[in-house]
Amino acid sequence: MNFEELKQFINQVGWGYLATTDGRIVGVRPMSGLVWKDSQLLCATGTASDKVLQVGKVPYGEYCFCDTAGRHVRIAGPCKIITDNAEKLWFYNQSPHLKDYVSDPASPEYVLIKMSPDNVRVMDPADRKYEQVKMK
């Protein structure tokens, strides 16, 4: 699988799961509406979410996207919280459904989690082996 096929797979699946930790407690939650900017993966969230607290303590996360046949993609890497209004506005314009949840892209209650993937793997259930995906 190449990077373009990876993006298509994520779009087809629609939902993935983001795992983060504070070093003691792990949180896993469903996520959608993710957007790629170059080779970085961004998602929107609220400042009061557990994800923001966890990424603040341990700036690393992992997404997992799985189809009904069991084929899945795991994307892991360092994360940071983005509060910059220009970047938030860019994301807001890329993610039309976000307008249903966030009325003002400059709101301090709305932030982004930006992941810079350093480990991207795909597994086909037929062979049960991970294949590394090269980013671009």
**Residue 12 banded pLDDT, cuts 50, 70, 90:** very high
Residue written as token pair 């994520």:
10
**What's phi and psi for 91, nearest 5 deg?**
-60, -45
The sign of the CA dihedral 76, 77, 83, 89 is negative
Q: What is the pLDDT of residues 74-94, one digit of tens each?
A: 999 999 999 999 999 999 999
32 token code pair: 């959608």
DSSP-derived 3-state class of residue 60: strand
**Residue 136 banded pLDDT, cuts 50, 70, 90:** low
* Domains annotated on the chain, with CATH: 3-132 (2.30.110.10)
Q: For 5-10, what is the mean pLDDT?
A: 93
pLDDT at 31: 92
Q: What is the pLDDT of residues 38-58, one digit of tens each?
A: 899 999 999 999 999 999 999
pLDDT at 134: 85
pLDDT(125) > 90 = no
pTM value is 0.92
Residue length, the chain?
136
Q: For 29-43, what is the mean pLDDT?
A: 92
14, 68 in Cβ contact below 8 A?
A: no
- HSE value, Cβ hemisphere, 13 Å, CA-based, for 67: 14
pLDDT at 18: 97
